[in-house]
Structure 1
Amino acid sequence: MADPERPSAAAARPPVRAGLLRNDSRAIALSLLVLATLACFAALYFAADLFRPLAMALMLNVLLSPLVRGLGRWRVPSGVSAALIVFMLLGGAAGTIALLSEPAAQWIDEAPSISREIKQKAGALLRPVRNVKEASEEVEKLADTTPGKSPEKVVVKSAGPLERLIASLQDIGVELAIALVLLFFLLSSGDAMAERVVAMTSDNERRARYLNALRTIQRDASTYFLTISAINLGLGVAVGAALYLVGLPNAILWGALATVLNYMPYLGAAIGIGLVAIVALITQETIGAAMLAPAVYAALTILEGQFITPSILGRRLTMSPINVFLAVVFWGWLWGIPGALMAVPILVIVRALADNVAPLHPLSELLRPLGDRGGPGRGPVEDNPRNKQRSA
C-alpha cells in the first residue's frame, strides 16, 4: 500500500515549488519597484533645477489643454491659442510684479529697522534669553586663560536679504522661462504627442478609451485648478479688505500674498498668519491691537478651508486633508517653495488618473477623504468583458 502513495506525494510537490517561485518572483518585483521609486525620487532631488520647469510645464499643459481645445472649436489654430495663453500668463505675472514690487521693496529695505523694532517691543519676552546669553559669554571669557595674543578672527560678510532675494528671483526667472517655452510647444502640439503614445496600442477600441481617459483627466484637473484659483482669489480680496479695515499698511500686498500662499494648504496659511502678525506687531501700538490682524486672517482661512471650498468642490473633487498635507510637505522638501506650490495640482492629476484607469483604482481609494465611502467610477480605461459584450 505504500508504493501507490509515493507517486501522489511526489506529484504534490511541484505545485508547492511553483507557489514558492511565484512568491519569490513577486518579492523580487516588489523590491525592484521600491528601488526604482527611490531612484526616481533621488533623480528628482539632485536634478531639481532640470525637473522643476519640466514638471511645471507638464502640469500647466494638463490644466490648460481644455482651453486650447475649446478655442479650437472656434477655428483658432493651436499655435495661436498657445501663444495667447503664454502671453496672458506673462502679462499677468508682469502686472502683479509691477503692482507689488514697490511695497515689497519697501519692506525689504526696512528689514533691519523692523528687526530692531521687534526686539524692542518683544524685549520683555527676550530678556531671560538675553541674560542667559550674556552669562554664557562671561563664562567663555573666564575659561579662556590662554596667554599671549589671541588669534585674529576672520569675519565673512554674508549677503544681505535684498541680495539673496535678487539671486533667488533670477533662478526662478530662468526656470519660469524654460517652463513657459516648453509649455508653448506642448500646447501648440495639442494632443499629437498623446496620440503618438496611444498609437503604440494596436487595439483601436483600447486606443479610443485611452484618449477619452486622457481628456477626462485633463477636464477634472482643469476644473479643480480653476475652481481653487477662483477661491484663492476671493480669499485674497477678503483678506486684503479685512486687513485694510483693521489698519494694516499695504493691505493689497498681503491680500496678494494670501492668494499665492493658499495654493499651499495649511503651510501657506501658517506662513501668512506669521507674516501678518509680525507686521501688525510693528505697526500697532498695543499687543491687543496687533493680534487683531492675524486673528482676522486665521478666521478667513478657516472659513475658506472648512466650509467654502468643500461646499463648492463637492464630494467628487474633494481631497483628503491628510494626503494634501503630506503632499505639500513632501514636494516642499523635495523642491522647496515651487514644489509646495505644485503639490496640490500634482495630487489632483494623480487622483484624476487613478479615477479613470482601472488598475489604479485602489490608489484613488487612498486619496479620497476618510468619510467618503463612494468608490471611483468605472473609468474609461477599464477592461470589462461585460461592457465589451454590451457594446458589441
Structure 2
Amino acid sequence: MPERALFKAKKKAQIENPPLSEATALVDPKTGLDLVVAWSIVGTFVILMSGVIYALESILMPVTLAIVVGMVLGVAADRLSRFGLPPVLGGLVFGVIFVVLVFFLVNALIEPVSMLTAKAPALIEDSIQRFLPFFERFEWVRRAINGADEKAVSDMVMANAGAMLGIVATGLTPAFVQTLIFLAALGLFLLGRTHLRKTIILAFATHERRLTAIRVMNATENAVGFYFSTASLIYISLGTVTAVIAFAGGLSGAILWGLFAFVSSFIPYLGVTAMTIALTCAGLMTHDSMIMAVLPAICFFLLHLVMENLVTPAILGHRLEINPFLIFIAIIFWTWMWGAVGAMLAMPLALIGLTIFNEVRTRPPERQLPG
C-alpha cells in the first residue's frame, strides 16, 4: 500500500509539474508579434547588406565576377584531372587562356570603338536628320519640333557630345583598377580553390553538416559550369548567324555584330532588346528603304526567339529552370547595384542561390507504397 500511494503521488507531481521538454512543447511556438520582430530583423539585415554591396561596388563586383569565372574554370580543370593534370595547374592553364582571349577581344574592339568615338558627333547629327522625317509623321512630335529650332537642337547635341565622351573617359580609370582586381582575384582563387574548399568543409563540426557543405559546393559548381559551357556554345552559334545576317543586310562590321550578339545574350531580356534596337538604328543609317533597314533586326529577333524558346530549353531541359519573374527581378536588382556587369551576373547569381536553396531545404520523407 505505501508503494502504491508513493507511485500515485509521483504521477500526480509529474502531471502538475511536467519536465522541461514537455513544458516547452506545450507553450505556443510564436506569437504574431514575435514573427513581426523576426521578419523585421531579416528585412533590416537585407537592407543593410544591400547598402554594403552598393557601397563596395568597386571591390565586390570584380571579386564576385572572378569567383563565378573561377568556378567555371575550376569545373573544367577538374575534368582535365582525369588525364593526370593537377586541378591547380589545369585551373591556371584555363585562366591564362581566358585572359588571353579577353585581351584579344578587347584589342579587336579598340579600333572600331575609337573610330566610332571620333565620328560620334557626325553620326549623331546624321541620325537626327534621318529620324526627323520619320517622327514628323506624328502630330505631337511635329508640334514639338515646330516649337524648337532644329539647328539649335543639333548644335546642342554636338556640343554635349564632348562632355559625354569625357564622362566615359573618366570611368576608364576605375574600370582599369577593377580589371586588375579581377585578374588578381581570379588567379588567387584558382590557386587556392582546393584549399578553400577544405577550409569551408572543416569549418563545420558535425559529419552530416560537412557532407551537406560538400553536396552544396559540388551542386553549385556543376550547375554554374553546365550553364556557362552549354550557353556559350549556343550563343557562339547565335553570334555566328548574327554576323551572317549583318553581312547579308549590308551592315559594316559584321564580325563585331556577332561579338556583340554573343556577349549580350548572357544578359536575359535586356541583351536582345539592346541588340534589336542597335540593329534597327544601324539599318536606318545604312539603307533608305524602311524594309531593308529593319530586316536585319527582325531576323535577329526571330533567331533569338527560336534559340531561347526551342533550342536552349531542349538542351538545358528543366535542370536549370528558373521562374522568369525571378530572373527579371534579379536583373533589375543587380543592374541597379553594379550596372552592366551586374546584369551579366544576375543569371549565375540567381542560379547559385536557387541551387543552394534546393540543396539545404528539408525534403519530406518519401512515401512508401503499401504492401
Normalising by structure 1, we get a TM-score of: 0.77
Matched-pair contact (CA < 8 Å) for 1:240–1:254? yes
| 1:360-379 map, 5 Å | none
What is residue 330 of structure 1 aligned with on the other side? 333
Q: 1:200–1:239: structure 2 CA closer, same or farther, 3 Å change rule?
A: same
Q: Corresponding residue for 2:246? A: 243
3-state SS of 1:291 partner? helix
**Post-superposition CA distance 1:14-56 (Å, at most 9, x none):** 9999438654433322211111011101111122112111211
Structure-2 change in CA distance of 1:311 and 1:18 (3 Å): same
Per-residue deviation, residues 224-260 of structure 1 (Å, max 9, x unmatched): 1211111111111111111111211111111110111
Long gaps (5+) in structure 1:
1-9, 138-155, 360-377, 387-392
Distance in 2, matches of 1:348 and 1:167, equals 34
Deviations 1:53-103 (A, max 9, x none): 121122223322222323344443444333322211211111112223222
Q: Which residue of 2 aligns with 1:300?
A: 303
Shift of 1:356: 1.7
Give the fraction of aligned pairs with identical amino acids, expressed as a percent.
22
Residue 123 (str. 1) matches residue 132 (str. 2): yes
Q: Secondary structure at the match of 1:317?
A: coil
**Partner SS state of residue 28, structure 2:** helix
Distance 2:340 2:168 in 1: 14
Alignment partner of 2:46 out of 37, 43, 46 = 37
1:106-161 CA-to-partner distances (Å, cap 9, x unmatched) read 22222211112122222224446465355378xxxxxxxxxxxxxxxxxx977445
Match of 2:35 in 1: 26
The structure-2 alpha-carbon separation of the partners of 1:15 and 1:23, relative to structure 1 and needing over 3 Å to count, comes to farther
Report the AA paired with residue 59 of structure 1: V
1:358 corresponding residue in structure 2: 361
2:102 maps to which of 72, 79, 93: 93
CA contact under 8 A between 1:281 and 1:287: conserved in structure 2? yes
Alignment pair present for 1:68 and 2:77: yes
Helix, strand or coil: the match of 2:306?
A: helix
TM-score between the two structures when normalised by the length of structure 2? 0.81
2:293 counterpart residue number: 290
1:68–1:187 contact (8 Å) kept in structure 2: no
CA separation of 1:80 and 1:191: change in aligned 2, threshold 3 A = closer
Cα distance in 2 between the residues matched to 1:275 and 1:67: 34
Out of 104, 117, 135, the residue aligned to residue 147 of structure 2 is 135
Q: Which runs of 5+ in 2 are unaligned?
A: 1-15, 18-22, 150-158
Matched, 1:105 2:114: yes
Structure 1's 16 and 83: CA in aligned 2 closer, same or farther, altered over 3 A? closer
What letter corresponds to residue 247 of structure 1 in structure 2?
G
Residues 212, 130 of structure 1: alpha-carbon distance in 2 compared, 3 angstrom cutoff: same
Q: 2:74–2:91: 8 Å Cα contact kept in structure 1?
A: no
Give SS of 1:315's match.
coil
Q: For the residues of structure 1 that align with 2:322 and 2:346, how far apart are their CA atoms?
A: 12
Equivalent pairs counted in the alignment come to 335
* Counterpart selection for 1:204 from 193, 204, 207: 207
Contact 1:248/1:283 (8 A) holds in 2: yes
> Aligned ranges for residues 169-188 of structure 1 at < 5 Å?
169-188=172-191
- Structure 2 vs 1, CA of residues 280 and 158 (structure 1 numbering), >3 Å: closer, same or farther? closer
What one-letter code is carried by the residue in structure 1 that aligns with 2:337? L
Aligned to 1:271: 274
Other-structure match for 2:170? 167
Indicate the residue corresponding to 1:46 in structure 2: 55
